[in-house]
Structure 1
Amino acid sequence: MAKPEAAPESAAERAPVKLAFWTLTAMVVGSMVGAGVFSLPARFAEETGVAGALIAWAVAGTGMLMLAFVFQSLAVRRGDLDAGVYAYAKAGFGEYPGFFAAFGYWASACVGNVTYWVLIMSTVGALVPALGDGDTVLAVAVSSVGLWAFFLLIKRGVKEAAAINRIVTVAKVIPIVVFVLLALFSFDPGVFADNFGGADYAGSLFGQVQGTMLATVFVFLGVEGASVYSRHAKRRSDVGRATVTGFLSVFAIFASVTIVSYGIMPMGEIAELRQPSMAGVLEAAVGTWGTVFVSVGLIVSVLGAYLAWTLMAAEVLFVAAKDDDMPRFLGRANAADVPVPALVMSTVLSQIALVVVLFSEDAFDFALNMTSALTLIPFLLAAAFAVKVAAGRGGASRGTSGEIAISVLATVYTAFLLYAAGLRYLLVSLIVYAPATVLFVMARREQGRRLFSPAEAVLLAVSIAGAAVGVVALAAGWISI
């Protein structure tokens, strides 16, 4: 009697697509170089002059470099953990905090994707007034079409999407470098000197620096891109190398874009520019063609970043579901190794956030700041876990004094970012976090487990109370979106 054929291996059980070092590096660069860099001149000029900008970039660059080193170290010392930020939070502080980290990171990626569409529509809105600043009904409708078109593209396969991202990453860095070179050619030392101390509307130097922190967080989101996709790395060591290489490359670009802009126009005029403000700065330097040049570069850049972030968002939900921290349906993948249910949820949340921008005072700034705020708790938990690992209490041997110092600095930096974000965005973040517990409850019920331990119940109560305060504050007009 013939032996029955073995059941075909499911897509979720097949070996994941493997990515090389340069592809992982492109994921990091592609994730960070997106909408944020094109908004930097006005975002900084709204808050600070040259002196504050230099300090802000020194603080942000050092802090984020510490985080990059943290992800590099954890990728090697805890190579058994996939999906980066989420996995580190869970290993360090338990399942419920890990769930919050996974959901917060995923939600931040989805809301961040909205900034891309808002900025594209705002850019085209200079020619088509009906699109406004990306916050009109027509703009949301057109953005929605693009949203679902990318869903269909990514559904075709991770390998194809990663290859496209690698090509787009190169294409989008070129116009940004050209902007810096042209701005340097048109640089006016007198204007730069006038902008050095800040304008009349700028407050204290500390306040100026604090006001830029969420903007720097947003542009550096993606530094953890390689670690999020670590299950696809050909070599685990490539994850850390790609993280640091990508970060250092992008940091130089971001700081240059900000500083050279102060030598083109008075900061008060830069602050009034419509987004993408980089286009307005270049127009002042070289004429109208500068706006066209930056606008085309922006669209290529933003679409590439959107692709990378959508891939990472779905990956986080997928891995969390495989670890039983999300409902099982999110752990399914198709034959092309794409976690389709997680991809659908990511696209749906981005669609909801797109509709919300219709009711915000400043669609782009709100989406940008909200993205940053949602990411801070996952980053803080990951950095704190690195402290435990370096101290020999996180499933690895005790690290060197240098590793301990780096992880402590990264933790202090992310804690400062939470303070800089302010109560407003923390409360709005909790409005997003608290209802997400439904997914955690679904996962626990599927496993027939107790829903919450005493410690988890306390955390749940705190998140619900914070969300309730946030809803009341919004309704009473104490805070706004």
Structure 2
Amino acid sequence: MASQEKIGLTALTALVFSSMVGAGIFSLPQNMAEVAGADAIITGWVITGVGILFLAGCFLHLSRLKPELDGGIYTYARQGFGDTAGFLSAWGYWLCATIGVVGYLVVAFAALGAFVDTPDHVVFGDGNTVMAFIGESVVLWAVHFLILRGIKQAALINLLATLAKSLPLIVFIVLAYWYFDMDTFNIDRAGHSLQTPFIDQVRNTMLITLWVFTGIEGAIVLSERAKRRADIGTATYVGVIAALILYVAITLLSLGIMQRAEIAQMSNPSMAGLMAHLGGEWGRWLLSIGLVISVLASYLSWILYSAEVPCTAAQAGAFPKRFALQNQHGTSKASLTLTSFTVQLCLIMVLFTGKGYNALVLISTSMILVPYFLVGAYLVKVAHQQSCRLSIKLTGYGASVYGLWLIYAAGLNSLALSLVLYIPGLLIYLYSRRRHKLIESNQPSV
């Protein structure tokens, strides 16, 4: 790939940060307040903070221990546990990313509805009206052709959008800190009014916290595009720590502005409602604009990831070979087209079923559980094979335990849903392997 198409540290870090800090952060206060009290939320963030830093450590160490492996999510699973495990990881991650970007489009146009919708005339609604569908489709194909012009150009636009969307988040944190009231924060800290055991409150926060951190692997997925291998781990850690600080600050400071039960009843994006409570209607507008910019920036990041995984997997025969072919800008047209058409199909389903953002989040998050667990398990395997120092082994074990905890916290319904969605992927895998073997058998021996 030409050097001018490579991505530098700043843009790579922005991709990681932007892919995590998207739509979820603007609904985070309500999402967390709905399922847990302040004590359980703090416990949930401690578990998530430790677990996600272990996972970031896995990406950091593997990028150094296995510098020859590009693509991360797929290649680590394949190298460590075989072709089938590799494909299942790639398929799960691709579906997570693809369905996730559908959710971003839907919530972006739902936010636009705050500006144009009236009780008598709904234009965008919850992002599932005809006008929203038309707007979402226009954005989808505009980004499609942008990425066809080159990964670097898309990454640069994402960097600018990341800077723009960070401003309203910082304003919210400053105002929330200024108006924070400890007496309000201490009301029903244990969440007794939820009538839910403490451990279940903690468990109920897990899929929410996992969703807002999905994207941690961005630098690894695009590792082949990085200017320097050393930038991969640095970008991952900087992005994760910055996002973690934002998430914890916004969640806990919100509980000092309004009571938990009141926040739980708010409509999303709940941060806009909290800003209106703090600063009036201008605050709601500022957060709504920030949400639209944030979501579209995250959408751009996730489309990049979605298109990259089938391309990497096709190079090893897990996807049809055409997905490995790249244009002069280093973009796999077939992979990007598959992703865009899948997003378009999901948008049609959203239009006719009326499903919204929360339903898409549940489906998307359930697909990433196994791929994340396999990353930690692979580091454990590599660390023992190469007799690495104890800290690296503990990082792998810590990420693996966190992965198992997430699978437990997700519950049987999420696991059953993910198993159903893996079935069509297995059919594609079997077809691709058969075609790959036929091509190999027809090649003349040397």
Q: TM-score, normalised by structure 2?
A: 0.94
Asked if 1:219 is matched to 2:208, the reply is no
Gaps of 5+ in 2: 440-446
Asked if 1:81 is matched to 2:69, the reply is yes
Deviations 1:195-232 (A, max 9, x none): 42225125111111111111111110111111111111
Asked if 1:109 is matched to 2:97, the reply is yes
* Equivalent position of 1:254 in the other structure: 247
The answer to whether the 8 A contact 1:47-1:202 is kept is no
* Equivalent position of 2:8 in the other structure: 20
* Equivalent position of 1:416 in the other structure: 405
Asked if 1:197 is matched to 2:185, the reply is no
Secondary structure of the equivalent of 1:447? helix
1:48 offset after TM fit, Å? 0.8
Structure 1 CA distance for aligned equivalents of residues 353 and 45 of structure 2: 28
Secondary structure of the equivalent of 2:205? helix
* Equivalent position of 2:417 in the other structure: 428
Secondary structure of the equivalent of 1:385? helix
Structure 2 CA distance for aligned equivalents of residues 164 and 16 of structure 1: 16
Amino acid at match of 1:91: Q
1:406 offset after TM fit, Å? 1.1
Asked if 1:308 is matched to 2:301, the reply is yes
Alignment of 1:9-88 (within 5 A): 17-88=5-76
Structure 1 CA distance for aligned equivalents of residues 140 and 195 of structure 2: 38
Farther-moved stretch of structure 1 (340-349 vs 124-133) = 124-133
Amino acid at match of 1:391: H
Structure 2 CA distance for aligned equivalents of residues 422 and 20 of structure 1: 39
1:423 offset after TM fit, Å? 1.3
The answer to whether the 8 A contact 1:331-1:339 is kept is yes
Alignment of 1:135-214 (within 5 A): 135-198=128-191, 200-214=193-207
Amino acid at match of 1:60: T
Structure 2 CA distance for aligned equivalents of residues 447 and 193 of structure 1: 61
Farther-moved stretch of structure 1 (118-127 vs 334-343) = 118-127
The answer to whether the 8 A contact 2:57-2:395 is kept is yes
1:125 to 113, 116, 121: 113
Amino acid at match of 1:238: D
The answer to whether the 8 A contact 1:114-1:367 is kept is yes
Structure 2 CA distance for aligned equivalents of residues 391 and 355 of structure 1: 48
* Equivalent position of 1:391 in the other structure: 384
Structure 1 CA distance for aligned equivalents of residues 322 and 285 of structure 2: 45
Structure 2 CA distance for aligned equivalents of residues 216 and 359 of structure 1: 29
Structure 1 CA distance for aligned equivalents of residues 146 and 417 of structure 2: 32
Tell me how many residue pairs correspond in the alignment. 435
Structure 1 runs (4+) greater than 4 angstroms displaced = 13-16, 358-362
The answer to whether the 8 A contact 1:46-1:271 is kept is yes
Higher relative contact order structure (alpha carbons within 8 Å, sequence separation ≥ 6): 2
The answer to whether the 8 A contact 1:37-1:219 is kept is yes
1:352 offset after TM fit, Å? 2.2
1:367 to 360, 369, 389: 360
1:14 offset after TM fit, Å? 5.9
Gaps of 5+ in 1: 1-12, 451-481
Q: 1:176 to 1:130 in 2, by over 3 A?
A: same
Structure 2 CA distance for aligned equivalents of residues 222 and 202 of structure 1: 33
1:284 offset after TM fit, Å? 1.2
Asked if 1:333 is matched to 2:330, the reply is no
Amino acid at match of 1:96: T
Indicate the RMSD between aligned Cα atoms, in angstroms.
1.8
